[in-house]
């Protein structure tokens, strides 16, 4: 995942926008659990956003609502095992005394809420903004990312640069300009090329020598950058309600499939894919860049993160909704729940592991943002 250079501050407002979006998505997820319980008459005595020490709380007639210090998630608490609860242990409205199907609805409701919310966000984006139907091209090719320790970085190329020409040949405002630049670089292994670059209005001439790599037995030159066509997206709004619903559904399907495929690669190509996994800091960083470049893209960002939360939570891992659903599946098959001590031990171990992973990702992602 790409991180912005510390010398290019993003600003507080985009960061605040992204943090509010993440808080909203956590709220939506936990609200799904909460409403699924309350609508079935099941007791829910805590509704919390965040973990750790309480920062703010309100005690309602049945439920304590709280904000906590560590914004790494949230939870809905049930009085089933609360030693201070005066509800009889055999009360039919305790979660554990409900049939398996009722509990499945409560546990899966958070995932369903995130998926529904993602679709509604995309529906709003398509209705208000439209969907990209192409680009209004501008001269040059944008460099959104420079690989660390690459020949491009060593030559002085930075993320955000716009390459206007290579070896004196201008890069015109056309659809194939990015591909032509890639071909020119690939055709020059170990041969210096001169790039004319626009950096925030300053025109620079930067020589760079593509590194020789072998691809399918052929010598290829690479400099270690991602390239993006230079232009403004052209948006097209749907013509009627039917098209609005269809286009939003298509966008939802595309994001969901790509998300599931991404998690699948964690299994099939763990060594490579795990390096791309980002924690809260990386998510805020990427989202803030999106908000700064085009706030309307925050719709897609919110939908993407919401679907990611849904997919993560449905995984059959301890401390996640999928782990609890797995316990319920065993209960349905065996006709009785697994021993409570076993369930508590697995869930507590999973929670510690998840919090540990969260802390690790925060430290790693923060370190990636710092100057070397």
Catalytically active residues are 30
- Could you give the 3-state DSSP secondary structure of residue 190? coil
Q: Considering only CA atoms, give the Rg of the chain.
A: 25
**Would you say the C-alpha torsion 313, 315, 320, 325 has a positive or negative sign?**
positive
- Which stretches does DSSP call E strand in 21-129? 46-59, 64-77
- CA–CA distance, 123 with 251 (Å, rounded to integer): 9
Would you call 351 helix, strand, or coil by DSSP? helix
Q: What angle do the packed helices 100-128 and 241-268 form, to 10 degrees?
A: 120
User: Packing angle between helix 12-38 and helix 100-128, nearest 10 degrees?
Assistant: 140
Strand-pair partners of 51: 70
Q: How far is CA 91 from CA 78, 88, 95, 303, 332, in A?
A: 13, 5, 9, 39, 21
State the Cα–Cα distance between residues 321 and 328, nearest whole angstrom. 11
| Residue corresponding to tokens 């056309």 | 174
């Amino acid at each position: 995942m790409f991180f912005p250079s510390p010398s290019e501050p993003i600003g507080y407002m985009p960061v605040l926008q992204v943090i509010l979006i993440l808080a909203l998505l956590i709220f939506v997820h936990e609200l799904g659990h909460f409403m699924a319980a309350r609508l079935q008459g099941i007791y829910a005595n805590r509704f919390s956003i965040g973990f750790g020490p309480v920062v703010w709380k309100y005690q309602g007639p049945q439920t304590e609502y709280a904000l906590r210090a560590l914004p790494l998630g949230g939870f809905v608490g049930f009085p089933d095992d609360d030693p201070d609860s005066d509800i009889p242990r055999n009360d039919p409205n305790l979660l554990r005394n409900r049939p398996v199907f009722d509990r499945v609805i409560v546990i899966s409701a958070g995932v369903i809420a995130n998926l529904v919310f993602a679709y509604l966000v995309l529906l709003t984006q398509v209705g208000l903004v439209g969907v990209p139907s192409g680009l209004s091209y501008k001269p040059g090719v944008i460099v959104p990312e420079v690989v660390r320790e690459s020949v491009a970085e060593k030559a002085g190329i930075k993320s955000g640069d716009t390459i206007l020409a290579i070896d004196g040949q201008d890069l015109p405002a056309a659809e194939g300009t990015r591909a032509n630049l890639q071909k020119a670089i690939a055709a020059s292994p170990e041969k210096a090329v001169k790039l004319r670059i626009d950096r925030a209005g300053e025109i620079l001439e930067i020589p760079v020598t593509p590194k020789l790599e072998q691809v399918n037995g052929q010598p290829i030159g690479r400099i270690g950058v991602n390239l993006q066509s230079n232009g403004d997206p052209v948006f097209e709004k749907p013509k009627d309600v039917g098209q609005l619903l269809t286009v939003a559904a298509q966008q939802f399907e595309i994001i969901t499939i790509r998300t599931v495929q991404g998690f699948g690669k964690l299994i099939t190509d763990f060594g490579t894919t795990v390096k791309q996994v980002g924690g809260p800091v990386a998510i805020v960083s990427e989202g803030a860049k999106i908000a700064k470049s085009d706030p309307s893209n925050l719709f897609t960002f919110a939908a993407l993160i919401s679907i990611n939360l849904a997919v993560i939570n449905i995984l059959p891992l301890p401390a996640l909704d999928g782990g609890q659903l797995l316990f319920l599946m065993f209960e349905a098959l065996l006709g009785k729940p697994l021993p409570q001590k076993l369930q508590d031990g697995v869930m507590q171990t999973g929670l510690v592991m998840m919090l540990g992973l969260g802390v690790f990702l925060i430290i790693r992602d923060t370190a990636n943002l710092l100057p070397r």
